[in-house]
A and B are shown apart, each in its own frame.
Chain A
Amino acid sequence: IEECNVHDEL
């Protein structure tokens, strides 16, 4: 699964 701890919020 794609690493989901990439911070997608500003």
Chain B
Amino acid sequence: MNIFRLAGDMTHLISVLVLLLKIYATKSCSGISLKTQELYAIVFVTRYLDLFTDFISLYNTVMKLVFIGSSLAIVWCMRYHRVVRRSYDRELDTFRYWILLGVSFILALVLHEKFTLQEVFWAFSIYLEAVAILPQLVLLQRSGNVDNLAGQYVFFLGAYRAFYILNWIYRYLTEQRFTRWISCVSGLVQTALYADFFYYYFISWKNNAKLQLPA
């Protein structure tokens, strides 16, 4: 464990807490893409298949349970909670995410560390996570005005993977046997997808204005 990875995990945790806060405090999920939340639930379930077979540390197990539990709770809330579900922007959240699922799975069948069920699903979850934010970014562009909590949620979600890139650089320099090309390349793609969001987020923060994404 290094400071970059810890910062990354904490930032990721903050993004989940911000989203839970938004949904429970405002009883609304406006501006949040259910498709991105469902993709993230799939990411965590397929990535943590080793939850009960490989014990790394208490921290690792607890965080896995938190991410799986919170992502499923958010999907459940947005689908079935009688108050929250009414504020879901159904007609704006129309990204055809089957494409993302299909491409990620085919890529995982071709590019993986070992051809075992667990490793193929792990690679699938890495590729899927890189593109899982797309429905959310499209929804934010379509809905124009971005409420603070939704903007902060996406910001922290993007920042966490940026910390992980620093973690991979650090591990590459300090651990001679560290090669995680699948994670590194995917993580770079993932963070790059946020680049324009970060730019507009920074502009809005600098001008102390509402976050406006160009349609």
Contact = CB atoms under 8 A, between A and B. Distances in A.
Q: Do A and B bind each other?
A: yes
Contacts of B56: 6, 8
Contacts of A6: 50, 54, 56
Interface residues of B, number: 19
Interface residues of A, number: 7
Interface in A1-10: 4-10
Chain B interface, DSSP helix/strand/loop, else mixed:
helix
Contacts of A9: 5, 164, 167, 180, 183
Contacts of A7: 47, 50, 122
Interface of B: 5, 9, 12, 47, 50, 54, 56, 60, 63-64, 67, 113-114, 122, 164, 167, 177, 180, 183
Across the A-B interface, the 9 shortest Cβ-Cβ residue pairs? A8-B56, A6-B54, A10-B63, A10-B9, A5-B113, A7-B122, A4-B177, A9-B5, A10-B64
